[in-house]
Amino acid sequence: MHIHILGICGTFMGGLAAIARAAGHRVTGCDANVYPPMSTQLAALGIELTEGYTPDQLELKPDVFVIGNVVTRGNPLMEEILNRGAPYISGPQWLAENVLRGKWVVAVAGTHGKTSTAAMLAWILEYAGLMPGFLIGGVPENFGVSARLGTPSQYPSLQGEGEGGGGFFVIEADEYDTAFFDKRSKFVHYPPRTAVLNNLEFDHADIFPDLAAIETQFHHFVRIIPANGLIVSNGADANLERVLGRGCWTPVERFGVDAEWHAGARGADGAFDVLWRRALQGRVRWDLFGTHNELNALAAIAAARHAGVPPALAIEALGTFRNVKRRMETKGTVNGVTVYDDFAHHPTAIELTLAGLRAKVNSGRIIAVLEPRSNTMKLGVMKEQLAASLDAADRVYCYSAGLAWDAAAALAPLGEKARVYSDFDRLLGELAASVRSGDHVLIMSNGGFGGIHDKLLAALAAR
């Protein structure tokens, strides 16, 4: 099959392209901005890229156009596809019909922690010798890629040998909408055998009017999980409990405080005991810190057990887990100043990330640098919670360019320790001048933030 992907340089669509190529399909694609690293990765796979959405791309005559959710009505190529009646499909639906069918799908959903938990799960299955496929919204350092087809021979197809290839597939199950012509959440296209529900909060204010609308989508997801599957759910999350209370036809195992799966004794080095129904399963010893990482690990261990991996082996695997790029990733240390990169862009994620760093550095000074860049943050929906989420930092720098709300007013409760800048160069200059040896600079953004990480390290080296 020849597929032509619109919006191919996005994380999801780029991963889909790599998987499709590995499955033997001819893959071409286009995007508004074709640039490294995704363009380089795709070109290395033999995938032809076109910059822009020109109507003449219909002359490629693919079997189907695969449409990313970045594409809207008015896009010149999409308009021509519609005018000519050419076949098209969304990325999630193409993946479901051509890759996931017959596989044991392990899907990770939730407002926070999807990428980390999915990466942990993929690594546990890999460590157990199951060689799973995966599609994750980040790059797990244990693999070095965000997507892989996997090895079908490791597990028979759920639909019979040879139908769909069999094997395990771990997918980050996003609640964002599928495409301009399919406003359902992406995850309804990924019927899982094992599902993780990490947590549920209001987010994506650009497409959901309120929390109730998101809960409805999560319940649609719950409705497609089979009775012989398993739901691994955060037992401390009242919103998830409300979703399950609307109807659930699948066994549920809960993780968290006073749940079936919970953490026991903790160590100052981030280690913790894992208990299942109050029975000790082992002790996770790793380089990660924070309650959020403990919960992610518990969910991954529980889900892996359903896929046939004993908890003791899953715990052993997590001891060699190397996290995901842009999740508390250390970018460098210069003159005693350590710079981290993190994807946190929601007040809850910001608070949890800071708590994890505080547990790691104890009394060390933490400098939080935030770019409120997500659609929800740009709309100002979460501005009232922002100051409290940053309270654990010793100093806060906020980049306010492009915001439609007053960041200085929102951060006023933090007093003198908060500084707001609309000029990037001024922020960078004053940040570089103020940090001192022993400081930990936590940079949080869901974008590139103008390359601030490398620029700050360079400024510190030149100081």
pLDDT for 326: 72
Measured distance CA(234)–CA(256) in Å, rounded: 6
Instruction: Determine the pLDDT at residue 154.
Output: 53
Task: Measure Cα distances from 400 to 203, 372, 380, 389, 434 in Å.
Answer: 20, 7, 11, 17, 19
The mean per-residue pLDDT over the stretch 253-275 comes to: 90
Classified as helix, coil or strand, 100 is helix
Per-residue model confidence (pLDDT) at position 1: 95
Residue 59: CA count within 13 A, CB half-sphere: 4
- Residue 161: is its pLDDT beyond 70? no
pLDDT at 129 over 50: yes
Q: Please tell me the chain's helix, strand, coil percentages from 3-state DSSP, rounded to the nearest 5.
A: 35, 25, 40
Whole-number mean pLDDT of the chain? 90
pLDDT tens per residue across span 342-364: 887 788 888 888 988 888 888 89
**% the chain with pLDDT above 70:** 96
pLDDT digits (tens, 9 = 90+) for 294-338: 999 999 999 999 999 999 999 999 999 988 777 778 888 998 999
Contact in structure between 99 and 133 (CB atoms under 8 Å): yes
pLDDT recorded at residue 382: 76
**Size of the chain in residues:** 463
| Domain termination site, one of 293, 318, 343 | 318
Regarding whether 279 and 141 lie in a shared domain, the answer is yes
b or e along 103-134 (b: 16 or more beta carbons within 10 Å of the residue's beta carbon)?
bbbbbbbbbbbbbbbbbbbbbbbbbbebbbbb
What CATH code is carried by the domain that includes residue 272? 3.40.1190.10
422 lies in some domain: yes
Same domain, 451 and 393: yes
The verdict on 306 and 430 lying in the same domain is: no
Residues 310 and 384 in one domain: no
Lowest mean pLDDT among 186-195, 286-295, 368-377, 454-463: 368-377
Q: What angle do CA 275, 280, 285 make, to 5 degrees?
A: 80
Q: What is the DSSP letter of 140?
A: B
CA-based nearest residue to 302, from 337, 262, 334, 267: 262
Residue 165: CA count within 13 A, CB half-sphere: 18
Say if residue 302 is in the same domain as residue 215: yes
Per the domain annotation, does 238 fall within a domain? yes
pLDDT of residue 163 exceeding 60: no
- Per-residue pLDDT band for 140 (boundaries 50, 70, 90) equals confident
Average pLDDT over residues 206-229: 92
Q: Is 278 left (phi over 0), alpha (psi -120 to 50) or beta?
A: left
The two structure tokens encoding residue 297? 């690990």
Residues 143-166 have a mean pLDDT of 68
What are the structure tokens assigned to 420, written together?
């707001």
108 with 241, same domain: the answer is yes
At 446, which amino acid appears? N
Residue 39 has pLDDT above 80, yes or no: no
Which backbone phi and psi does 51 adopt, to 5 degrees? -85, 125
Nearest to 357 by CA among 348, 349, 366: 366
Do 269 and 188 share a structural domain? Answer: yes
Give mean pLDDT, residues 205-233. Answer: 92
Q: Is 324 inside a domain boundary?
A: no
pLDDT of residue 156: 57
Q: Is the per-residue pLDDT at 463 higher than 80?
A: no
Task: Specify the DSSP class assigned to residue 176.
Answer: S
User: How much is the pLDDT for 159?
Assistant: 56
Would strands 279-284 and 88-90 be described as parallel, antiparallel, or unpaired?
A: unpaired
In the structure, what pLDDT confidence band is assigned to residue 257 with cuts at 50, 70 and 90? confident
Q: Which of 92, 109, 142 is the last residue of a domain?
A: 92
The SS3 assignment for 335 reads coil
| pLDDT score for 164 | 47
Structural domain count, the chain: 3
In a domain, 323, yes or no: no
Residue 82's pLDDT is what?
98
pTM value is: 0.81
Q: What pLDDT is attached to residue 162?
A: 41
Give the model's pLDDT for residue 379.
74
Q: Which domain holds residue 308?
A: 101-318
Q: Do residues 204 and 78 share a domain?
A: no
Least confident of 72-81, 109-118, 150-159: 150-159
Shared domain for 124 and 272, answered yes or no, is yes
- In sequence order, the 6+-apart residues with CB closer than 8 A to the CB of 148 are 18, 19, 22, 132, 133, 134
Are residues 106 and 48 both part of a single domain? Answer: no
Query: pLDDT tens for residues 435-453?
Result: 999 999 999 887 778 889 8
Highest mean pLDDT among 36-40, 46-50, 311-315, 398-402: 311-315
Given this model, what pLDDT does residue 42 score? 86
Domain boundary among 72, 92, 112: 92
State the CATH number of the domain containing residue 425. 3.90.190.20
CA distance 77 to 82: 9
Task: Measure the CA–CA gap between 29 and 49, rounded to whole angstroms.
Answer: 5
Residue 282 CA to residue 263 CA, distance in Å, equals 10
Instruction: With CA atoms as reference, report the closest residue to 205 among 448, 385, 424, 398.
Output: 385
Instruction: Write the pLDDT tens digit of every residue in 164-179.
Output: 467 999 999 988 899 9
In the prediction, which pLDDT does 35 show? 67
d(CA 358, CA 393): 8
CATH number at residue 37: 3.40.50.720
Q: What is the per-residue DSSP string for 287-301? A: S--SHHHHHHHHHHH
6 pLDDT above the threshold of 60: yes
Alpha-carbon Rg for the chain, nearest whole angstrom, is 22
- Kindly state whether residues 310 and 369 are assigned to the same domain: no
Q: Residue 374's pLDDT is what?
A: 75
Whether residue 121 is found in the same domain as residue 156? yes
Residue 388 lies in a domain: yes
Is 442 within 8 Å of 342 (Cβ atoms)? yes
